[in-house]
Structure 1
Amino acid sequence: MAWFAVYLGAGALVGVLAGLLGIGGGMTLVPVLAAIFTLQGYAPDHIVHLALGTAMASIVFTSASSVREHWRLGGIDTSIFKRMAPGMVTGSLLSTLAAGWISQRHLALAFAVIVYAGATQMLLNRKPAAHRPLPGPLPLFLAGLAIGTICGLVSAGGAFLNVPFMLWCGVPLRTAIGTAALLGIPVAMVGTLGYLASGWGIAQLPPWSMGFIFLPALAGLVSGSVLTAPFGARMTHRLPVLALKRIFALLLYVLATKMLLTYW
């Protein structure tokens, strides 16, 4: 029961971040879950895999809760979603299916490198001049494919890449955040199936696991995040998002570094 409370608290924190920044929370959750699973003594050879799979599954619920509030506030562009989602789903499925064949050390390294890059972009907040419209369907599909592949490797909904890309194409910040949250849902759903399949039948995983998804942790994370994500979404329209993004970026540096030092 004590561990469920830990999962609940982690979920509540990630829910606020999800609503506020349009993220699914995977990049934050993976190192946290890996540390918790290590303390619990679960699956030493598959802790990173288990953290990635459980975090990806939680994004489905966290993003859905966040999207409801962004939709109510008019912060979602469905035309962008329709053109980017197919590529993102394809990329996420391919990378999550491949994750089971990648060693824990190399997954930790890939996670850290990608998170460092995403955190740096948030910290610097460099925005190219929004002097161009969104590209056509094929370029958007290819952009989604690349972003979705990266999302699958780090269990992210893609906002850390989708938001800068949409800003570059002239999409307003709050619309970019809301649309990125919506794009995270199908990516997380397909990615969850990928982690379930790639971990299926591995004997070393703890009881109540489905592939690389640990159900007790998922239940606690979801219970916390769905309650707080709408609150975070409302905060997007009231607080200085840039300052909060920079604080979040510094947190990501710390978490990614700990992940790298622990599992590399």
Structure 2
Amino acid sequence: MACKAAQDRAPAVSGNVAQDRGTGLYAARQDRSVALDLAALAVGVGWGVVAGVLGGAASGLLGIGGGLIYTPLFHLLFPDLPIGAAVFASLGAVMLTSLSSCLSHWRLGHVDAGVWLKMLGVAPAAALGLYTTLQFPDWVVLAALGALVIWMIWDLGREAKDGVALPLVPASVAIGWISGFLGIGGALMLVGVLRRHLPLRFAVGTASALAFTLALAAIALNALLAPAWREVWFESLSLLVGLWLGVAASARMSSGFFARLHAEAPEASARRWMQWMLGGLLAWIAALLVWEFARA
């Protein structure tokens, strides 16, 4: 019902603010009133709180920054936005959520600083990945997200000793680019790599720190250096700020609670929780893909 309410509400806002998709959902117009800006901000805050709770749970339990939740959720709630705006909004939310998760795991002693330094290549690679996002249609991003979830479900079903321990530096570059392109924190893939170098709790904690690092770098570098992304930012400013405020208000409490729950659980149970959550997420992304093709 929440998804239906979002679909009902989002077009009402977009219809008053933009003439068509080409102008941007919240494009600057001379005749736009402050009330419409505040309406967009309020809608963003409300859905940002919901997204923060969901993303915080995913961050605390899975070590992900929430991008796998945020990108499809924002795309569903605001279908008039181009996928690039949803990705940009997702990375901003990832930055906030993963910071909360990183602080929680740091207090628990689950962040390996040495491994974090070795994998700093995620930062410039993520910025490059985000730069290329606007060149692809919406369904490509959703399909790629679904493929990542399938891989993670399969990977979590194996014991750590069954996989190959990939070199950290090349892995960080590849993961950074994919993360920037899809608007995710990359911790989903980072956990898969790091759990073959570290115990699962340390893999999750270190992944959350790296997710924050790459999201911050991707947003900052593209906002400063890429005119196309500056246009996306200004066209959707009220909505983006609202979403990020809502995420900031709810994500830290949610991620802290679920990080403590993860720390107290046996590793086998934690892996089962991850698989169940990812299975539900995969079904959701598949439904979004069907919807995307149906409305095309």
**Can you list the C-alpha shifts for 1:5-44, whole angstroms capped at 9, x where unaligned?**
2321221121122122211000011111111112xxx33x
1:112 is matched with which residue? 146
1:191 is matched with which residue? 218
Note if 1:60 corresponds to 2:107. Answer: no
Which of 112, 126, 130 does residue 92 from structure 1 map onto?
126
Mapped partners of 1:97, 1:224: distance in 2: 29
Instruction: Compare relative contact order (CA 8 Å, sep 6+) and give the higher one, 1 or 2.
Output: 1
Asked whether the equivalents of residues 12 and 221 of structure 1 are also in contact (C-alpha less than 8 Å), the reply is yes
Mapped partners of 2:247, 2:205: distance in 1: 21
Give the TM-score, by structure 1 length: 0.83
1:4 is matched with which residue? 45
How many equivalent pairs are there? 246
1:31 is matched with which residue? 72
Asked whether the equivalents of residues 23 and 160 of structure 1 are also in contact (C-alpha less than 8 Å), the reply is yes
The Cα RMSD (Å) is 2.5
Asked whether the equivalents of residues 110 and 205 of structure 2 are also in contact (C-alpha less than 8 Å), the reply is yes
**Which residue identity is paired with 2:271?**
L
1:163 is matched with which residue? 191
Q: Is the alpha carbon distance of 1:258 and 1:120 closer, same or farther for their aligned partners in structure 2, counting shifts above 3 Å?
A: farther
1:201 is matched with which residue? 231
Asked whether the equivalents of residues 61 and 222 of structure 1 are also in contact (C-alpha less than 8 Å), the reply is yes
Mapped partners of 2:122, 2:111: distance in 1: 17
2:178 is matched with which residue? 150
Asked whether the equivalents of residues 130 and 222 of structure 2 are also in contact (C-alpha less than 8 Å), the reply is yes
Which of 227, 241, 247 does residue 276 from structure 2 map onto?
247
Fraction of identical pairs, as percent: 24
**Can you list the C-alpha shifts for 1:222-249, whole angstroms capped at 9, x where unaligned?**
2111222111211111233122101111
**Can you list the C-alpha shifts for 1:166-194, whole angstroms capped at 9, x where unaligned?**
2223x111011101111111111122235
Asked whether the equivalents of residues 17 and 25 of structure 1 are also in contact (C-alpha less than 8 Å), the reply is yes
Q: Is the alpha carbon distance of 1:204 and 1:5 closer, same or farther for their aligned partners in structure 2, counting shifts above 3 Å?
A: closer
Please state how far the C-alpha of 1:57 moved relative to its aligned partner: 0.6
Task: Give the SS at the match of 2:132.
Answer: helix
Mapped partners of 1:206, 1:69: distance in 2: 31
Please state how far the C-alpha of 1:156 moved relative to its aligned partner: 1.8
Mapped partners of 2:151, 2:50: distance in 1: 27
Mapped partners of 2:214, 2:275: distance in 1: 25
Structure showing the higher helix proportion among its residues: 2
Mapped partners of 1:105, 1:236: distance in 2: 33
Note if 1:121 corresponds to 2:151. Answer: no
Asked whether the equivalents of residues 111 and 153 of structure 1 are also in contact (C-alpha less than 8 Å), the reply is no
Q: Whose Rg is larger?
A: 2
Give the TM-score, by structure 2 length: 0.75
Mapped partners of 1:203, 1:176: distance in 2: 33
Q: Is the alpha carbon distance of 1:194 and 1:255 closer, same or farther for their aligned partners in structure 2, counting shifts above 3 Å?
A: farther
Asked whether the equivalents of residues 11 and 224 of structure 1 are also in contact (C-alpha less than 8 Å), the reply is yes
